[in-house]
Chains A and B, each alone.
Chain A
Amino acid sequence: DQQVKQNSPSLSVQEGRISILNCDYTNSMFDYFLWYKKYPAEGPTFLISISSIKDKNEDGRFTVFLNKSAKHLSLHIVPSQPGDSAVYFCAASAEGNKLVFGAGTILRVKS
């Protein structure tokens, strides 16, 4: 039962343009959402999060949007840089408990 889905296995973007990574969830009990970035052979690195009481959170080049009615969130990276090339995981939790992860999206930023 995949409660968190990232339907795009990969995304390729030109340097300087916007990268948009998408995530859908099914569990309406989720109240906290996070994005992690992961390089090969390393652990996930926390990027940005959003509480279910908000619809947008911004941190530098990274913005996360939450649409609760559609059970959808997205991560925008602008401008994209070659160093952003990595696997991006969407994760969700309910009442601060375990994280449920999506399968990840491989982002390639071409220079």
Chain B
Amino acid sequence: NAGVMQNPRHLVRRRGQEARLRCSPMKGHSHVYWYRQLPEEGLKFMVYLQKENIIDESGMPKERFSAEFPKEGPSILRIQQVVRGDSAAYFCASSLRLAGGKDTQYFGPGTRLTVL
């Protein structure tokens, strides 16, 4: 399967715990994006990463959230000290980042985080 992989698909955490969400991009893609979808809403951009670099984190909450895309291994979205409002579906997308801005992002199946 050459698609975007995310794990876990479902994650349950108690308030105050940490959540780690993983994303492996499509083969050959070096650009990763994280989005969050709250209930009854569209997807909202969080962060854009290349290998070992954060390019745009304008959508990330200032506290408790961090993201990385190491040289080896998947991209990780980390949420520390989770609160109930963090409950959402988190989607990862990857792209080739073609020249000229014609950049189609392909999405993974998402991780559904539930905070009790």
Chain A positions within 8 Å of B, measured between CB atoms, are: 4, 31-32, 34, 36, 41-46, 49, 51, 89, 91, 93-104
Contact = CB atoms under 8 A, between A and B. Distances in A.
B105 interface: yes
A98 B55 CA distance: 10
Contacts of A46: 104-107
Interface of B: 4, 6, 33, 35, 41-45, 48, 56, 58-59, 91, 93, 97-98, 100-110, 112
A26 B48 CA distance: 23
Contacts, number: 66
Contact of A51 (B35, B41, B59, B102): B102
B92 to A, nearest CB: 8
B16 to A, nearest CB: 27
A32 B48 contact: no
Contacts of A49: 102, 104
A34 B112 CA distance: 24
Contact of A43 (B98, B101, B108): B108
Return the 7 tightest CB-CB contacts between A and B, nearest first. Answer: A96-B101, A43-B107, A96-B103, A101-B42, A98-B45, A103-B42, A101-B43
Nearest to B43: A101
Contacts of A51: 102
A69 to B, nearest CB: 20
Contacts of A103: 41-42
A31 B41 contact: no
Given A42-B110, A51-B102, A102 B42 contact: yes
